[in-house]
Amino acid sequence: MSMARNSRIFVSAVIAFFVVFILMPSANAATAAALKATPVFVAPKPSLSNRFATNGASSYFIDRAGRLWAWGSNEVGELGNGSIIDSPTPVRVKFPAKLGHAAIIRLTVTEDGSVYALDSVGHLWAWGYNRHGQLGVGFGDIENHLTATRVDFPAALGTALIVSIAANHEGFDSVYAVDSLGRLWAWGNNENGQLGDGSLTGHETPVRVKFPAALGHASITSVAVYNDEGGFIAIYALDNAGRLWAWGDDDVGELGNGSVNVDFTMHPAQVRFPRNAGAVSIDSFVTGSSGDFFALDHAGRLWACGNNENGRLGVGSTTSQSTPVQVRFPTHWWQRSVSIVSVVAARYSYGASYAIDSAGRLWSWGGNRYGALGQDTSAAQLTPQRVQFPPALRGDSIVSLGADGYAAYAIDSAGRLWAWGNNRYGQLGSGHIANRFNPPALVRFPGDLGSASIVSVSARSPNFVSAFAYATDSMGHLWGWGYNNHGQLGDASNAIVALPTRIRFQAGVAQ
């Protein structure tokens, strides 16, 4: 074959490649438009989410009128109704007259029974357990409170409003609040210096957390606390410049500053991201349950740091990391890197972690007991793996996820709820008690859900003898199912419920 002929064949091949791979998409635009586009991440309606909270023994729900209801254990007055008598059905939390017409918009409850509620005008209320003054209701006040009392901020708060709160869960009894000027306040137990004010003195009223001069004029936008049964605590705060700050215990590198097994750090220090990563601006972060955290940056990259038991960091090993490492998601060479929009680190688990990408796909990695990762295996996964949903998902995307312990729940863009993992107490809402690894199955809501869609989900499985789940629908109704021996489902019974049941409030009172 002549060289000229070879050249003609080569040129023809190049032209064919150009026509097929470059021009064809334009020529067939009409056909391509007829195909379903890749699902886009859709966030749940914020006005309907985050209305429910539980510590496993007591539960709380904000109705559409901004009223707060509680049920379950009431040993330290955590139901806020003026008594210490347990209630198997929802009761109204009692607020003083000075609440006025304000609505309750957000709440937090600790394992010990300290409860915090934020109202619509920026006031913070507290009640329940108060051994270390963690309710913040007055100097020298360490008595339990049976009804809601305003947190006693100093005059320095001025006209600023409280915009977010965080509290620890395992006996440290310290609380943190961000105000509308971007200042961070703390109060309660301070035996390890966790209040970040440079002392070991506890405070029954809020004090300012002392940040280093490097904070400059930046404002704090959010705060979160990690603590575990082993007696470790770490606190994280994000500023509006995209920098993450941390202080507290650093036994496995969870503070992200390059150190391990150091004495308790009493002042916030900036988390160190790799220099070769370029500018890293953090948008959000979550803490795990065993000394780990994940941070999501503005470019959609996910970073992990701290304890890496069972591969919970998703970085391909089980070696703990004392500075953040980027989590790598598998892609083909011709595809763009995965952009992450949401991450969840399950509490009370063997290190199960989850992320949703910008295409609405769900990924999971880490500990996998009872199939909590939604993979076709019970083995731990050291790197992210895509959760494969059944054909019934169709073109819908995953928009949010709840996971706690050994089961997980995902809401899709059509408002349907999927579940998988441990099902010992019917917590998957499938009507039976068989575990489910993969694929995820739809939770079976009864007919009275009607055309409503699911907007939020909360799961609790702190141990092998207690596991239940709750979901809020678009009509403002609350549903519950699973373990119920202590009246967690608010239905005045202690029978296990393997299908979602609507939780009823007082007759004539709209949810």
CA atoms within 13 A on the CB side of 300: 12
Mapped onto helix, strand or coil, the DSSP state of residue 110 is coil
Structure tokens of 309?
């038991």
pLDDT of 153 higher than 60: yes
What are the tens digits of pLDDT across the range 232-289?
889 999 999 999 999 998 888 999 999 887 778 899 999 999 999 988 999 999 998 7
Instruction: Say which range, 181-190, 197-206, 257-266, 389-398, has the weakest mean pLDDT.
Output: 257-266
Q: Output the pLDDT for position 227.
A: 78
Q: Output the pLDDT for position 334.
A: 77
- Better-predicted residue by pLDDT, 35 or 167: 167
Q: Output the pLDDT for position 491.
A: 81
Confidence band for 35, pLDDT divided at 50, 70 and 90: very low
Q: Output the pLDDT for position 49.
A: 66
Q: Output the pLDDT for position 420.
A: 94
pLDDT of 461 higher than 80: no
- Better-predicted residue by pLDDT, 45 or 457: 457
Global pTM?
0.87
- If you average pLDDT over residues 314-326, what whole number do you get? 96
Closest of 203, 183, 176 to residue 191, by C-alpha: 203
CA–CA separation, 469 and 481 (whole Å) = 6
Cβ pair 170, 111 in contact under 8 A: yes
212-139-239 Cα angle (round to 5): 25
Structure tokens of 20?
């097929």
- Better-predicted residue by pLDDT, 40 or 116: 116
Q: CB under 8 Å, gap of 24 or more: what pairs does 235-240 form?
A: 235/176, 235/194, 235/196, 235/268, 236/271, 236/285, 236/287, 236/293, 237/176, 237/178, 237/184, 237/209, 237/268, 238/282, 238/284, 238/285, 239/182, 239/215, 240/182
pLDDT of 40 higher than 60: no
CA–CA separation, 185 and 33 (whole Å) = 52
Instruction: Say which range, 160-164, 407-411, 437-441, has the weakest mean pLDDT.
Output: 437-441
- Token match 């500053």: residue? 257
Q: Output the pLDDT for position 43.
A: 34
Confidence band for 487, pLDDT divided at 50, 70 and 90: confident
What is the percent of the chain where pLDDT is above 90? 69
Q: Strands, DSSP E only, in 302-423?
A: 302-306, 321-326, 340-345, 352-357, 362-366, 381-386, 398-403, 407-412, 417-421
Q: Output the pLDDT for position 486.
A: 73
Structure tokens of 440?
């995820």
CA atoms within 13 A on the CB side of 270: 16
pLDDT of 314 higher than 60: yes
Closest of 457, 498, 473 to residue 344, by C-alpha: 457
Confidence band for 134, pLDDT divided at 50, 70 and 90: very high
